[in-house]
Amino acid sequence: MAASRIASSRRLCFKYKYFFYVASVIFGLQLFLGYSFYNLTQKEIKIMGQPSDDVQIQVDRLPQNDRIKSVTNGSESEQQDQENGVESPSDESHVAPAEVLGNMSKNDFNLKSYQKCQIDTKEALSAISRASTLNCKKQLADVACDLAEEKLFPSSLPNFCPLNKNNTGEFMGCYKDTVSSRDLLGPHKEFPDHNSPKTCINYCFMLGYQYAGVQFTKECWCGERYGSHGEADILQCNSPCPGNPAKKCGGFLSQAVYSTGLSTKLKHSAELVKEMVMINNNLPVKIVFVLTLNGRQVRQVRRLLRVIYNSHHYYYIHVDARQEYLYRELLPLQDNFSNVKLSHVRFATIWGGASLLDAHLHFMSELLSITDWAWDYYVNLSESDYPIKRIESLAAFLTKYRGYNFLKSHGRDTQNFIKKQGLDKTFFECDHHLWRIGSRTLPQGIRMDGGSDWIGLYREFVNFTIKESNPLLTGLKKMYKYALLPAESFFHVLLQNSQFCNSWVDNNLHLTNWRRKQGCKCQYKHIVDWCGCSPNDFKTSDMDKIMNYENKATFFGRKFEAIVNQDIINQMDAYMYGNSVINVPGINSYWENLYHHQDGQKPADQFMTVYQSFIRMSLRHLAQKAKTCNLKVVNLLEVTVHYLSDSFHGALILHQVELVPSGEKFTLETRLDKSDYYQVFKPEGPMERLLHMEVGTDYDPKEEIFRNYLLIMGPLSPIALRHAWSQGVEFTVSIAWIDPANVIAASYDILIPKTTNTAIHKPTFLKPLRPGVWTVKMMHNWKVIAETQFLIVPQTILNGKPITPAEVDLLHNGPKGHYDSKDFEELKEVLNVNVSTEAMEIAKLNARKVGKPLQSLVDSLVEKFWGIQSICSLQGLPKNCPKLQLCPSTLWSSHSPDPKSNLEKSSR
Ligand SMILES: *[C@@H]1O[C@H](CO)[C@@H](O)[C@H](O)[C@H]1NC(C)=O
Ligand SMILES: *[C@@H]1O[C@H](CO)[C@@H](O)[C@H](O)[C@H]1NC(C)=O
Ligand SMILES: *[C@@H]1O[C@H](CO)[C@@H](O)[C@H](O)[C@H]1NC(C)=O
Ligand SMILES: *[C@@H]1O[C@H](CO)[C@@H](O)[C@H](O)[C@H]1NC(C)=O
Ligand SMILES: *[C@@H]1O[C@H](CO)[C@@H](O)[C@H](O)[C@H]1NC(C)=O
Ligand SMILES: *[C@@H]1O[C@H](CO)[C@@H](O)[C@H](O)[C@H]1NC(C)=O
Ligand SMILES: CC(=O)N[C@H]1CO[C@H](CO)[C@@H](O)[C@@H]1O
């Protein structure tokens, strides 16, 4: 039965095969050029060192899981640090109006009078100066002092792994070495000032090697085997050690070899099992799925829960402290299902921060204390995970390997891992930022490791992690409090140095879609003083890649994101459960809520301005249809974005209206579609390569889309132009930005490289931008070839309140002086820009409007870019009003059926 379902979905995949090949070739090229071009245009992002990985994940080996790509140091990072302070890449659309309209008071922190020690490292001083609250500055200064005095964590920790040989420091002899073929094959390092057998043994121990060899005074070599070139005369190993002249540190091409006391490799392997086999009458394992969730993708979360749901297992949900919408939506689940619980303690975690580890330790502790939840395995998931095999298959696998712990190691050399992961740096989290404070020395006596933070841990080990309080555990907990990405290393190090060291399987149960050229763009530099990577979303064309893992012990894929590509999720469902599960209404629809009236945090003013204009449009539309139907606006309830077959299909505005004079209330939902004013005039020569151009904010360089899905922009929005190209010859185009008063805000040339690419350009305009319709023109050889228009909406709202005459004067009149460094008047002719001053006069008049006239201006502008497609109602309207379809019977409304995300009828 299951086999035939799989077979039928394989056929489904075959249909797409040709498309896959073509698409993946194009996509590969696109990745490469997207990246090279990005470097040209985004000069502020500095990346030192390139990833050596292939562009796309390998199909024949597991992708490597270390996330960190590059290290920034010295002057490079100073510069980057300053940029961090000036501009924050996320939350871009929420620039505080105060920044433009007035001054922000900066609390002056007198470091000299506060600090308990002399802080002189650049990194610490930079962090303290950039931190925004006084409390955070003080904490950073304290950590910097404790770091200097080595008080943050113990300098050595015990190792309880029973596999260890316990002969640390045993001298194995003096052995020959050659330059062409090294005797000890592991990593090596020079310690010119403090080399000694002890230093070298500690170093090789930390990297997980059994042997350490000191050579040529200052060199230290690590390896798993020694003696390949034979023994040397002991007199050849006679150079005194720089760190301890009483000891000998080898000689020229001869090394003194010592045992570190470690065992060989600890890893076990585990194969996929075909069916549940119970060994020694073991019962099938019970899994607790720990979902750490962020964002507003409640439909996708429900869909994930639906496929992994089984009354035998448990579901523990943590919603980020800032995501009240998601929390509110999911909360009722725990009343309906006894095996679902939401964490009431909520953390606001940041990428890479110590808060993530704190959060997991808290969940573990809580989960151990729920007496009626008899779970065996702790499996970590997020909203962007999706199963790629049935959950029964995971349960069968974990039952067979009961007792083992599943953690994926980085798979490279540990020295490199420590450096790239910043484990040799001290970090501290405050003000929702992870600050880099300086270098640190890792404790002696422990083997370091790390890799993926997707974990599958056995209850006994989780209990040990929480309940035990030996010096290894307490020391590691302290050490990881000051680390970047602690969750990617803490459990690895704990497991390998504890009595559980023999239970490790090097597998994180996940297939991760790394595309480092796209995923490593320092996209977290606004929250972390480091460059981090993130995996890409799977798309339809990745089906073959996923199928390559059919016979491997890999149960989840990441990332899946329905708003980017839902088709691949549908395909996974068909693959796992057969086509019947996808032959349901709404299968190609995806809804994501952007605003809910119960949200404490209101959307940015420009969004609220447009949402309210949408409602007025909707009522005018109804009034035109039936003059006798007198409706008035009561309330905006929700805004949802709707995608159909992975294309934008409108903004849905759920709102309440009141019938005048009866006072009867009705809830309506209106779908509006946006117009795209992109046009190409006579594409000729290389311009044929242009695929599209669009202006927006919140660009996601990884998925190459604007996360401001409705492209709503106001005078303070940090706008950017995205332009996409197919393959062809390299050439140069000019871009000009023209404001609503026909002022040329900027003009510049950009080089378009040969291959397919999507690029972004963010002009650095002085704010505020003049509200109205803007035009971007693209020129080649002094001819306008393509253009697009976008709306900078005048705001009816500022800081959540109706805007005042004094405020419009500051916000709606354009910048003081030029947008850019200079004036581009001379380009008006070639750009066919009207030289008359009329547009400027109209703009000035508009800039004085407040109240009703401003609303009408907003409405007339919004109507240029948005059109009403349909309106439905939740209750039948009275006879004198237009007859509207009931929302649940439409295919687009947020109230139309969506069985794939419906948990109530779930029978599994
Ligand atoms: C740090 O910067 C120096 C130059 O300031 C450079 O030589 C060195 O390679 C850099 N280190 C790393 C790890 O990138
Ligand atoms: C090493 O010491 C540990 C802890 O004392 C012990 O459990 C283990 O059996 C010892 N290993 C060997 C090979 O003797
Ligand atoms: C668990 O999941 C989250 C993603 O939601 C991840 O960032 C975290 O580090 C994971 N693992 C651990 C051990 O915390
Ligand atoms: C949990 O860990 C504590 C401390 O190590 C130990 O005393 C206790 O027996 C453990 N409980 C179980 C059920 O393993
Ligand atoms: C410039 O704009 C004015 C008013 O909008 C219009 O009357 C005039 O014809 C335009 N001139 C050109 C050259 O398009
Ligand atoms: C929970 O159960 C109640 C009553 O049975 C039902 O109204 C509600 O829709 C259910 N909620 C979910 C999320 O299943
Ligand atoms: C808008 C605003 O915050 N303005 C302040 C700028 O700074 C002066 C003096 O520091 C204050 O008096 C203003 O209130």
Instruction: Report the nearest-CA residue for atom 3 of ligand 1.
Output: 74
Q: For 499-528, what is each residue's pLDDT tens digit?
A: 999 999 999 999 999 877 777 777 778 888
The helix/strand/coil state of 136 is: helix
Q: Closest-lying ligand to the alpha carbon of 357?
A: 3
The atom number, within ligand 1, closest to the CA of 48 reads 14
- Which whole-number Å values give the CA distances from 512 to 29, 275, 303, 418, in the listed order? 21, 25, 20, 21
Q: Residue 130: CA atoms inside 13 Å, Cβ hemisphere, count?
A: 29
Instruction: Check if 659 has its Cβ closer than 6 Å to any atom of ligand 6.
Output: no
Instruction: Find out whether 508 and 451 touch, Cβ atoms under 8 Å.
Output: yes
Does any ligand 7 atom lie closer than 6 A to the CB of residue 107?
no
One domain, residues 771 and 811: yes
Q: At what angle do helices 567-577 and 298-308 cross, to 10 degrees?
A: 10
pLDDT above 70 coverage of the chain, percent: 87
How far apart CA 430 and CA 182 sit, in angstroms, is 46
Q: Indicate which atom in ligand 6 lies nearest the CA of residue 302.
A: 13
**8 Å CB contact between 177 and 254:** yes
> Which atom, in ligand 6's list, is nearest to the CA of 903?
14
Cα–Cα distance between 461 and 463 in angstroms, integer?
Answer: 5
**Unique residue bearing structure tokens 């064309």:** 541
Residue 204 alpha carbon to ligand 4 centre in Å: 32
Q: Is residue 159 part of a domain?
A: no
The answer to whether residue 699 is domain-embedded is yes
Among 48, 69, 93, 30, which Cα is nearest to 762's?
A: 93
Question: Measured in angstroms, how far is the CA atom of residue 408 from the centroid of ligand 3?
Answer: 13
Alpha helices in 483-558 (DSSP H): 490-497, 516-519, 543-547
* Centre of ligand 6 from the C-alpha of residue 606, in Å: 36
**CB crowding 357-380: b at 16 or more within 10 Å, else e:** bbbbbebbebbbeeeebebbbbbb
Residue nearest to atom 9 of ligand 2 (CA): 162
User: For residue 751, is it within any domain?
Assistant: yes
Q: Name the residue with tokens 């969730």.
A: 293
**Structural domain includes residue 884:** yes
Whether ligand 6 lies within 6 angstroms of the CB of 802 is answered as no
Residue ending a domain, among 546, 581, 616, is: 581
Please give the pLDDT value at position 3: 41
Q: Which of 90-94, 310-314, 566-570, 767-771 has the lowest mean pLDDT?
A: 90-94
Residue 332 has pLDDT above 70, yes or no: yes
**CB of residue 675 inside a 6 A radius of ligand 2:** no
Atom 14, ligand 2: which residue's CA is nearest?
165
Please identify, among 522, 555, 581, the residue that sits at the C-terminal boundary of a domain: 581
Q: What is the predicted pLDDT for the residue at 20? A: 44
Q: Which residue do the tokens 């040397």 mark?
A: 232
Collect all residues with Cβ–Cβ distance below 8 Å to 102 and sequence separation of at least 6: none
Looking at the structure, tell me whether residues 438 and 575 fall in a common domain: yes
Bridge-partner residues for 690, per DSSP?
725
Q: Which atom of ligand 3 lies closest to the CA of 349?
A: 7
Residue 635 and residue 640: Cα distance in Å, rounded?
15
Run of H or E residues at 27: helix 17-41
Check pocket membership of 903 for ligand 6, CB cut-off 6 A.
yes
> Which atom of ligand 2 is closest in space to residue 160's alpha carbon?
4
Strands 705-706 and 377-382: unpaired
- What is the Cα 557 distance to its own chain's centre? 15
* Mutate which of 99, 100, 101, 103 for ligand 7 pocket (most atoms within 8 A of beta carbon): 103
What is residue 472's predicted lDDT score, i.e. its pLDDT? 97
Has residue 401 been placed in a domain?
yes
Cα separation, 435 vs 428, whole angstroms = 5
The CATH code of the domain that includes 770 is 2.60.40.3080
Contact 370, 334 (CB under 8 A): no
State the residue range of the domain holding 470.
287-581
Nearest residue to 573 via CA among 395, 399, 391, 316? 391
What are the tokens at 83?
Answer: 């940029």
Ligand 2 within 6 A of 167 CB? no
Res 51 pLDDT > 60? no
What is the identity of the amino acid at 92? E
Backbone angles phi, psi at 847, to 5 degrees: -70, -5
- Measured in Å, residue 376 CA sits from the centre of ligand 4 at 14
Starting at the earlier edge strand, list the strands of the sheet with 556-558.
Answer: 385-387, 556-558, 510-512
For atom 13 of ligand 2, the residue with the nearest CA is 165
Q: Which ligand 3 atom is the nearest neighbour of the CA of 357?
A: 14
Q: Which two tokens mark 357? A: 């580890």
How would you classify the pairing of strands 531-532 and 68-70?
antiparallel
Q: In terms of Cα–Cα distance, which of 653, 656, 658 is closest to 630?
A: 658
The answer to whether residues 519 and 399 belong to one domain is yes
Question: What is the arithmetic mean of pLDDT over 41-63?
Answer: 24
Q: Quick one: pLDDT at residue 906?
A: 47
Of the listed ligands, the closest to the CA of 106 is 7
Grouping H, G, I as helix, E, B as strand and the rest as coil, residue 838 is: helix
Q: Please report where in the chains the tokens 């006069």 appear, as a residue.
A: 841
pLDDT digits (tens, 9 = 90+) for 170-218: 999 999 999 999 999 999 999 999 999 999 999 999 999 999 999 999 9
CA distance 64 to 411: 6
Location of structure tokens 């929480």: 466
Pocket of ligand 5 (CB under 6 A): 834, 836, 838
Question: What's the pLDDT band for 97 if we cut at 50, 70, 90?
Answer: very low
Question: Is 474 or 39 the better-scoring residue by pLDDT?
Answer: 474
DSSP-derived letter for residue 794 is P
Which ligand is in closest contact with the Cα of 104? Answer: 7
Say if 350 falls within a structural domain: yes
Say if ligand 6 is within 6 A of residue 905 CB: no
Beta bridge partners of 722: 694, 760
- Of 114, 136, 113, 140, the C-alpha closest to 125 is 140
Residue 552's identity, in one-letter code, is: K
Ligand nearest the Cα atom of residue 365: 4
Would you call 565 helix, strand, or coil by DSSP? coil
**How many alpha carbons lie under 13 Å from residue 125 in its C-beta half-sphere?**
9
What average pLDDT is seen over the chain? 86
Interval 768-811: pLDDT, tens: 999 999 999 999 888 899 999 999 999 999 999 999 999 999 99
3-state secondary structure 272-327: CCCCCCCCCCCCCCCEEEEEEECCCCHHHHHHHHHHHCCCCCEEEEEECCCCHHHH
Q: So what's the pLDDT on residue 852?
A: 96
Q: What Rg value do the Cα atoms of the chain yield, rounded?
A: 31
The DSSP call for residue 566 is S
Which ligand has its closest atom nearest to the C-alpha of 836? 5
Cα–Cα distance list, 475 to 30, 322, 469, 495, 724 (Å)? 47, 31, 10, 14, 51
Return the structure tokens found at 714: 């106001």
State in Å: Cα 36 to ligand 1 middle: 23
| pLDDT for residue 48 is more than 60 | no
**566, 619: one domain:** no
**What is the reported pLDDT for 658?**
94
Q: What share of the chain is helix, strand, coil (3-state, %, to 5)?
A: 30, 25, 45
Asked if 274 and 301 count as a contact pair (C-beta separation under 8 A), the reply is: no
What is the chain's length? 908
| Residue 267 located in a structural domain | no
Task: With respect to residue 696, please indicate whether it lies within any of the assigned structural domains.
Answer: yes
Q: How many CB atoms lie within 10 A of CB 448?
A: 22
pTM of the model: 0.84
Q: Is 128 in a helix, a strand, or coil?
A: helix
Are 348 and 293 found together in one domain? Answer: yes
**Which atom of ligand 1 sits closest to the CA of residue 73?**
1
Ligand 4 centre from 468 Cα, in Å? 7
User: Which helix H or strand E contains 606, and what residues bound it?
Assistant: helix 605-625
Q: How far does CA 177 lie from the centroid of its chain?
A: 46
User: Residue 568 and residue 537: Cα distance in Å, rounded?
Assistant: 10
Q: Which ligand lies nearest the alpha carbon of 837?
A: 5
- Per-residue CA distances from 602 to 263, 325, 597, 713 (Å): 57, 12, 8, 16
Ligand at shortest distance from the CA of 159: 2
Q: Is residue 212 located within the same domain as residue 199?
A: yes
Same-domain pairing of 417 and 553: yes
What is the CA(715)–ligand 7 centre distance, in A?
Answer: 22
> How many whole angstroms separate alpha carbon 182 and alpha carbon 163?
27
Distance CA 57, CA 66 (A): 13
Tell me the CA–centroid distance for residue 826 and ligand 5, in Å. Answer: 18
pLDDT at 10: 42
| 686 lies in the same domain as 824 | yes
Q: What percent of the chain has pLDDT over 90?
A: 70
274 close to 284: Cβ distance less than 8 angstroms: no
What does the DSSP assignment read for 388-420?
SS-HHHHHHHHHHTTT-EE--B--S-HHHHHHH
Same domain assignment for residues 366 and 315:
yes
Same domain, 207 and 130: no
Q: Whose CA is nearest to atom 1 of ligand 7?
A: 102
| Number of domains within the chain | 5
Pocket of ligand 1 (CB under 6 A): 48, 71, 73-75
For ligand 7, mutation pick of 105, 107, 807, 811 (most atoms within 8 Å of CB): 105
Helix (H) or strand (E) holding 199: helix 197-206
DSSP class of 428: E
- The continuous run of DSSP H or E covering 706 comes out as strand 705-706
Residues 381 and 515 in one domain: yes
**What tokens appear for 752 in the block?**
């378009």
Question: Is the pLDDT higher at 861 or at 908?
Answer: 861
Given the CA of residue 839, which atom of ligand 5 is nearest to it?
Answer: 5
**Protein residue with its CA nearest to atom 11 in ligand 4:** 463
Ligand 1 site-directed mutation target among 68, 69, 71, 73, most atoms within 8 Å of CB: 73
Atom number in ligand 6 closest to CA 904: 14
List, in sequence order, every beta strand (DSSP E) within 159-280. 171-176, 188-190, 211-215, 219-223, 254-259
CB 405 within 8 A of CB 503: yes
Are 361 and 239 in the same domain?
Answer: no
Residue 651: beta bridge partners?
641, 672
